[in-house]
Every structure is written in C-alpha cells, then in structure tokens.
Amino acid sequence: MRCDLGFALGLAGLLALGAAPAGAGELHTERSLYRNIVVYEEDGLRCMKFGRQATGRQTCMSLAERNRLVFDYTRMMMGALYLNPAPRRVLIIGLGGGSLPGALQRVLPDATIDAVEVDPAVVRVAAKYFGFVSGRQTGVFEEDGRVFVKRMQKRGVRYDLVLLDAFDHEYIPEHLLTREFLLEVRGLLSAGGVLAANTFASSRLYHFESATYFSAFGDFYRLKQSNRVILVRLGGLPDRDELARNARIVEDRLAPLGVGSAWLLPLFEVEAGWPPGTRVLTDQYSPSNLLNGSN
C-alpha cells in the first residue's frame, strides 16, 4: 500500500513539503516506533525530515528569525483566523516541530490548545531541537489523532478551531482522509467552528479529497501554493467583506510570523470543479483501494 500510494502521489506532491537538500549537516537521527527522524541544518534553517532519503521536510525553523513561519502552508493555515479571529479552544492534529501550536500560542495567548502527535519521539525532538514548549494553556497528547477525536466526542468536548496537519513520510495517513473521520471532526466543532486542513496541491487524490470534504462540510475555501489548505466553517463561509474585517483584527498579531493580508487574502477561492461522480473517500473505499483499482 505504501509503495502504491507514494507512487501515485508523485514527486510533485512530495516536494510540496519542501525538498530536503542533499548533504545537509545532521544534528540528530533517531529510529522511532513509526519512522526514522532526521534533524539537520543548512542555509540558515533547522529542519526535520522522516528518513535520510526523504524528499520532504516536515518542519523547518529559521535560525535567525525563529518566530517566522518558513513554509507557505503554515502561513496559509493562519488564514483560519480570517474565518474566526478569536477561537477560545484549538485542536491541532500533527505536531512536527511545533510550528503551528507555537505560532498560535503567540497569536492567541488566552486560547487553550490541544496538540496531538502519535509519535512520542517527534514530541521530544520538537522540544529539544525546535524550542516547542507545552504549558498551562497547551497540552500535548501522544496518541493517534483519530483515537483522540473519538475520545473527545464521547466527552462532549467542542473546539472553535481544528487544524489537521498529520503526515508520515509519504502523505496524510489514510484513516485521516475519509468522510467518516471528517464527520467525526465536524462533531467536535462548536457553532461557527473552523477547520483548516493541510493537503497537497498536486496529486492523484486531489479531486477525491475535494469531493470528500464537500460531502462532509459543503462549500470550502482553498488556498493554494506548493500545498493546498482547505478551510471550512460551520454555518457557512464568510464573504470577502467579512474575511477582510477579520484580517484587520489579527493583522498586527500575524505580522511577526511573516503573515500579511496583502499576500493571504487573494489566495482565498471557493473550491469547485471536480469531475461529476468523483468517489468520496471512506473507511471502506480508501486511497489504497482507489489506487489499486478495488471496488
């Protein structure tokens, strides 16, 4: 399955995470239960990737400006605040080096943040090499993201903002791509709650993901550079005027991250145009079944 999925996504999709340079100076290598973790520095960046031969970087931090977001996709994920500029409770699935929870800690100092990461080794590396710090307002949960979602559902927990950013060395784990999972996440959102999801901008799964998100949430915004970020809000998407008003509310707080509305607002487009009859990804009809031609 992994080989088929990786081949189908293609090199262009892998590069969306950021091509890892050859011969990078390694600071740390570790074989965890889930993956090989490599931390290295080059060209003023400290980065994490999964495996020495991996073509994608999971996290990069500027050594000169540690608070600035390096990747376009992390800056686009901040666009979720244009849909709701004041979330009180936030869930992030997928930690990496802690770029997203760290950024939101600074932008939303009063918010409660739950960060979920399946690999305890990644949590340790994020703290030691990328300066990620949990605290009174930020909890870190070492478990599978879908298991966590189901557990919070049973407890009746609600989030104003959910960010999906869980990747292995190839792509998003299959069980976090299906309609059933998205409906479980939807069940965690408060009234007017916002979901932001990091996906690839180019892969054979692109239209299937679009159809799947639409089946769970209806219309959604997409922001597209080397990655695609999907943004949804329960109760309907804000129009351009509301986006602009919310952007002004958070402009000064996002500026230190390298995020500005002049760059971000023009990226907002309602996704449309996937082929009629595009299959929705489900727990039974998963990406591996799709790419293997199974019914």
Cβ distance 15 to 205 under 8 Å?
no
Please check whether residue 295 lies inside any domain of the structure.
no
List of long-range contacts for 241-248, beta carbons under 8 Å, 24+ apart:
243/82, 243/83, 243/268, 246/81, 246/82, 246/83, 246/84, 246/85, 247/82
CA distance 128 to 82: 32
pTM of the model: 0.90
CA distance 267 to 234: 20
End-to-end Cα, the chain, rounded Å: 16
241 has catalytic annotation: no
> What integer pLDDT is reported at residue 294 of this predicted model?
59
Name residue 89's beta-bridge partners.
112
Domain end marker among 12, 31, 62: 62
Please check whether residue 293 lies inside any domain of the structure.
no
> What integer pLDDT is reported at residue 135 of this predicted model?
84
Name residue 168's beta-bridge partners.
none
Spot the catalytic one: 160, 165, 168, 241: 165
Say what percent of the chain tops pLDDT 90.
79
| pLDDT tens-digit series, residues 246-267 | 999 999 999 999 999 999 999 9
In the predicted structure, residue 2 carries a pLDDT above the cut 60: no
pLDDT band at 288 (very low <50, low <70, confident <90, very high): confident
- CA angle centred on 75, ends 69 and 80, rounded to 5°: 135
Please report where in the chains the tokens 């100092």 appear, as a residue: 109
User: Mean of the pLDDT values across residues 98-118?
Assistant: 97
| pLDDT tens-digit series, residues 111-147 | 999 999 999 999 999 999 999 999 889 999 999 999 9
| Residue type, position 125, single letter | V
Instruction: Please give the tally of structural domains in the chain.
Output: 2
- Which tokens sit at 38? 């490599």
User: Mean of the pLDDT values across residues 17-32?
Assistant: 68
191 lies in the same domain as 157: yes
CA distance 79 to 260: 10
20 lies in the same domain as 144: no
42 lies in the same domain as 76: no
141 lies in the same domain as 171: yes
Cβ distance 195 to 232 under 8 Å?
yes
Please check whether residue 27 lies inside any domain of the structure.
yes
Domain end marker among 62, 91, 110: 62
29 lies in the same domain as 80: no
Q: State the DSSP H helix or E strand holding residue 128, giving kind and residue range, or none if neither.
A: helix 120-130
108 lies in the same domain as 237: yes
> What integer pLDDT is reported at residue 168 of this predicted model?
82
> What integer pLDDT is reported at residue 295 of this predicted model?
57
CA distance 213 to 11: 24
Q: What range does the domain containing 58 cover? A: 2-62
CA distance 271 to 269: 6
35 lies in the same domain as 126: no
| pLDDT tens-digit series, residues 144-188 | 999 999 999 999 999 999 999 999 878 999 999 999 999 999 999
55 lies in the same domain as 90: no
Please check whether residue 54 lies inside any domain of the structure.
yes
CA distance 228 to 224: 4
Say what percent of the chain tops pLDDT 70.
89
Of 12-21, 24-33, 173-182, the range with the lowest mean pLDDT is 12-21
| pLDDT tens-digit series, residues 45-94 | 999 998 876 667 889 999 999 999 999 999 999 999 999 999 999 999 99
Cβ distance 245 to 172 under 8 Å?
no
Domain end marker among 21, 36, 62: 62
Please check whether residue 233 lies inside any domain of the structure.
yes
Please check whether residue 67 lies inside any domain of the structure.
no
CATH code for position 178: 3.40.50.150
| Residue type, position 110, single letter | D
Helix (H, G, I), strand (E, B) or coil at 194: strand
> What integer pLDDT is reported at residue 229 of this predicted model?
98
